[in-house]
């Protein structure tokens, strides 16, 4: 077995719950840290571990059962076109793309949003990869903006009655 593979196995046995990088590498002498980091990267490339943020710390976690590396979901757009939404684990990070005109420009399109709302697997992955707080922030603001839009519309109606009729 080559040395990198041996490091991978050692590291994998240590990463059973989220662990800080410094704690993970503390047992290795400086001369071996480079190899240990290489092994970490290799484990991420193989989707065996993921890197995420816990506050300001970088942590490594085991990939949980049922996690996917690629999930392609066809979805019907409002004009009847079928778009392909792809969720994938890329370099240890969860990424999404959609081949609709907005998605091609890296805009968070309604197809990706729709899947995040309705697909439990994807929702769990958002949590696994530490994206859930941003996602929830977005939903909360969206809710707020809908409410404000409705309020504005009611005030507009009131104004119309005053001014135009």
Residues that bind Zn ion in the complex, under the rule CB under 5 A = 98, 100, 103, 109, 111
Q: What's the burial of 38, exposed, middle or buried (CB within 10 Å: 0-12/13-18/19+)?
A: middle
- Minimum Å gap between C-beta 94 and Zn ion is 17
- Minimum Å gap between C-beta 119 and Zn ion is 14
Nearest CB to Zn ion, comparing residues 89 and 100: 100
- Minimum Å gap between C-beta 117 and Zn ion is 14
- Minimum Å gap between C-beta 125 and Zn ion is 18
Residues 6+ away with beta carbon under 8 Å from 165: none
CA angle at residue 104 from 99 to 106, to 5 degrees? 125
Nearest CB to Zn ion, comparing residues 60 and 83: 83
Nearest CB to Zn ion, comparing residues 92 and 103: 103
Nearest CB to Zn ion, comparing residues 50 and 98: 98
């Amino acid at each position: 077995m080559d040395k990198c593979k041996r490091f991978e196995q050692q590291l994998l046995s240590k990463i059973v719950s989220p662990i800080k990088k410094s704690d993970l590498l503390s047992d290795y002498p400086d001369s071996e840290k480079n190899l240990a980091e290489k092994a970490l990267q290799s484990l991420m490339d193989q989707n065996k571990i993921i890197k995420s943020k816990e506050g300001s710390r970088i942590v490594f976690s085991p990939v949980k059962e049922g996690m996917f590396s690629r999930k392609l979901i066809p979805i019907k757009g409002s004009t009847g076109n079928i778009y392909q939404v792809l969720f994938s684990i890329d370099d240890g990070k969860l990424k999404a793309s959609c081949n609709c005109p907005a998605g091609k420009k890296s805009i968070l399109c309604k197809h990706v949003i729709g899947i995040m709302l309705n697909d439990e697997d994807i929702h769990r992955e958002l949590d696994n990869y530490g994206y859930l707080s941003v996602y929830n922030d977005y939903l909360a603001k969206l809710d707020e903006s809908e409410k404000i839009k409705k309020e504005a519309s009611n005030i507009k109606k009131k104004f119309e009655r005053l001014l135009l009729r």
